[in-house]
Amino acid sequence: MSPLKSCLVAAAVLAVAGVSSAGAQEHVKMSFTAVSGFALGYVAQEQGFFKKHGVDVEFLQTAISGNIPGAVVSGSVDIGGPTMPSVLQANDAGLDLVVFSGGAVYPLPGDILIAREGAGITKTSDLKGKTVGVPGLGALLDIMLRREMKLNGIDPNSVKFVEVGFPQAGDALKSGQIDAYPSQAPFTARILQSGAGKEVSNWLKNTPDGTPTVVYMTTRKWATAHKAVIDGMRAGMHEAQDFIKTHKEETDQAIAKYTGLPAAVVASIPVPPLNVDLTPKQIQFWIDISKEQGLIKGNPTPESIWVK
């Protein structure tokens, strides 16, 4: 074979290999709520870290975190981004979900309790007899608020809780539909800037540092059948975790894209602490609270929930 033909053959082989490599991308659908807690995933997708490890993630937004386990089990999405309590409650009901990565962890500067003007709420104990919106009944912020009420001697049953999505919270406060709302970044900045309410004293001061908020999960069956995808996503998010430390502008752009909030609003708040790998202690925190509040009856262990 002539040198020219050899070069052409080699080029053709490389081209085919390139096509095969590009075609090897695993397309994954993920259900998520539009919060900055998923910044690891946003950045990993936007910066090509997922693609580098053979994964392409399609983010499908939902307003209520509690709906995510059902969407994953039904097969309408492959993975989801609920909170740990949602996973525990779903498994207690007979499902078999596993967590393979964490997202944002406490302390979160954007997680504050907002009270509408004129509601007479300056501290957690003032919530008695009020109507409080939460992004999901039985979800993380609902559970944390009930925990804080008990710590302040308030019976959670003395408060009326209603579900209100993050994007609708500001309007619900302005209209008087709700008196208070435990908000989460990046929506907090927008609600405060709109004048819909004011910050109540630090209601999460009793939360241990490192406590996970949102997590990445799927069914055990899917995780077993797609171990390479799970490994690829985790690797991509590890790269994103390092990237975020020194690239706030790019991180803000990714958060703004997936949350739908103005870049100026996102830029006004710090990027939350993020952690891919969770420890048994971090998971046990949520197991204990879920048991205490009667959300689950079983006795799960961190090892039964976390998948490597």
- Model confidence band, residue 248 (pLDDT cutoffs 50, 70, 90): very high
- Kindly report, residue by residue over 187-237, the tens digit of the pLDDT: 888 898 888 999 987 788 788 999 999 999 999 999 999 999 999 999 999
First-to-final CA distance of the chain: 50
Q: Do 65 and 142 form a contact (C-beta atoms < 8 A)?
A: no
pLDDT digits (tens, 9 = 90+) for 4-29: 344 434 434 433 344 334 457 899 99
Domain boundaries, the chain: 24-105+211-305, 112-199
The per-residue pLDDT for 90 is 95
- The H-or-E segment that residue 76 falls in is none
The closest of 162, 172, 158, 163 to 129, measured between CA atoms, is: 158
Contact between residue 270 and residue 109 where contact means Cβ atoms under 8 Å apart: yes
Spatial separation of the C-alpha atoms in residues 15 and 165, rounded to whole Å = 48
Lowest-confidence region among 5-9, 143-147, 278-282 = 5-9
CB atoms < 10 A from the CB of 288, how many?
A: 10
pTM (2 decimals)?
Answer: 0.81
CATH number among 1.10.569.10, 3.30.450.20, 3.10.129.10, 3.40.190.10, domain 24-105+211-305 = 3.40.190.10
Rounded to the nearest integer, the mean pLDDT of the chain is 89
69 vs 203, higher pLDDT = 69
Asked if 26 and 56 touch (Cβ cutoff 8 Å), the reply is: yes
In the predicted structure, residue 48 carries a pLDDT above the cut 70: yes
Same fold, 24-105+211-305 and 112-199: yes
Question: What is the second-level CATH architecture of the domain 112-199?
Answer: 3-Layer(aba) Sandwich (3.40)
Q: Can you name the residues that pair with 216 across neighbouring β-strands?
A: 101
